[in-house]
C-alpha cells in the first residue's frame, strides 16, 4: 500500500488526485486551486469535478465568477475516502490492538522507520520492535508462532512487508541507551502502539 498517497493508489489518475486534495480539507476550493494542489491541469480538473458533483461525492457552490468545490463527508464514498486518507493511523491502531490480543501480549510494540515517519510507499517495509514479555525466552516456540501469525496479519492488513526486531525488555533498555544508528532511529521516530513507552523501557532493571 502507498501510505503517502493512499487515495491515489486506489483511485488512479486525475480523479484520485482531485479527491485526495478535497479529502484533506474542509474548505471550499475553486477549480484553479484544486488543479494546482492536485498537480493536474485546469482542463483535467474541469472534466473531473462535474462528474464527481453528479455522483454527489463533491458539492459545488456558485460564487460568480467562480465555482467552489468541497467533498461531501456524509456521502458513503466520501467516508471510504476519508478512511483511506487516515490509513496510517488506522494501521497503527490495528497493529497495537492485534498485538494486545496475542495469548501472551508483548511488553511493548514500537513501530519505527518510514511508516512511523508517514513516508511509507508501496515498497516500504513496516519496521516493528517487539519486546518479549517477562518469562518468555527467544526459543519459546509458542511465542514465536504467535508473533509470526501476528506478523502475517499485519502483512495482510497493509500489503507491505513487515520486519520484526524481537528483543527482551533488558535488551531494549540497553539498546535504547546505546548509540547505534538503528536504535537512535527507534528513539527519534518510534511510535509505541502497545505496552510500555520508550522512557519506561529505558528504566528496566538489569539492562
Residue 207's pLDDT band, with cuts at 50, 70 and 90, is very low
**Sign of the alpha-carbon torsion through 130, 135, 136, 139:** positive
> Cα separation of 163 and 43, whole Å?
43
pLDDT of residue 89: 97
Q: Quick one: cell of 25?
A: 480539507
Residue 34's pLDDT band, with cuts at 50, 70 and 90, is very high
> Residue 145: which of 189, 89, 103 has the closest Cα?
103
| CA distance readout (Å), 17 to 44, 79, 139, 148, 176 | 11, 17, 48, 36, 40
Sequence-distant (6+) residues with CB within 8 A of 93 are 193
pLDDT of residue 204: 79
pLDDT tens digits along 80-109: 999 999 999 999 999 999 999 999 999 999
Crossing angle of helices 169-176 and 181-189, rounded to 10°: 90
Cell match 485546469: residue?
42
What does the longest C-alpha to C-alpha distance in the chain come to? 71
Residue 205's pLDDT band, with cuts at 50, 70 and 90, is low
Q: Quick one: cell of 135?
A: 518469562
pLDDT of residue 203: 84
| CA distance readout (Å), 57 to 9, 13, 15 | 18, 17, 12
Alpha helices in the chain (DSSP H): 6-10, 13-23, 31-38, 42-55, 76-85, 87-100, 141-158, 169-176, 181-189, 198-202
What's the pTM?
0.87
Average pLDDT over residues 115-143: 95
> Cα separation of 163 and 77, whole Å?
33
> Cα separation of 72 and 204, whole Å?
50
Q: Which domains does the chain have, with CATH numbers?
A: 6-84 (1.10.10.10), 87-202 (3.30.460.10)
Amino acid at each position: 500500500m502507498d501510505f503517502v498517497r493512499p487515495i491515489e493508489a486506489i483511485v488512479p489518475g486525475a480523479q484520485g488526485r482531485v479527491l485526495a486534495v478535497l479529502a484533506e480539507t474542509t474548505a471550499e476550493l475553486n477549480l484553479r486551486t484544486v488543479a494546482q494542489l492536485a498537480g493536474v491541469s485546469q482542463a483535467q480538473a474541469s472534466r473531473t469535478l462535474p462528474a464527481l458533483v453528479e455522483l454527489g461525492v463533491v458539492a459545488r457552490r456558485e460564487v460568480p465568477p467562480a465555482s467552489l468545490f468541497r467533498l461531501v463527508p456524509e456521502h458513503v464514498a466520501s467516508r471510504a475516502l476519508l478512511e483511506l486518507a487516515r490509513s496510517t493511523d488506522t494501521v497503527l491502531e490495528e497493529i497495537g490492538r492485534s498485538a494486545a490480543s496475542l495469548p501472551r501480549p508483548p511488553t511493548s510494540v514500537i513501530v519505527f522507520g518510514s511508516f512511523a515517519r508517514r513516508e511509507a510507499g508501496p515498497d516500504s517495509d513496516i519496521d516493528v520492535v517487539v519486546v518479549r514479555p517477562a518469562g518468555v525466552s527467544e526459543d519459546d516456540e509458542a511465542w514465536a508462532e504467535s508473533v509470526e501469525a501476528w506478523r502475517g496479519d499485519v502483512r495482510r492488513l497493509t500489503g507491505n512487508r513487515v520486519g520484526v526486531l524481537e528483543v527482551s525488555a533488558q535488551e531494549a533498555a540497553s539498546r535504547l541507551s546505546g548509540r547505534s544508528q538503528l536504535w537512535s532511529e527507534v528513539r527519534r521516530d518510534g511510535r509505541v502502539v502497545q505496552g510500555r513507552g520508550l522512557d519506561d523501557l529505558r528504566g528496566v532493571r538489569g539492562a
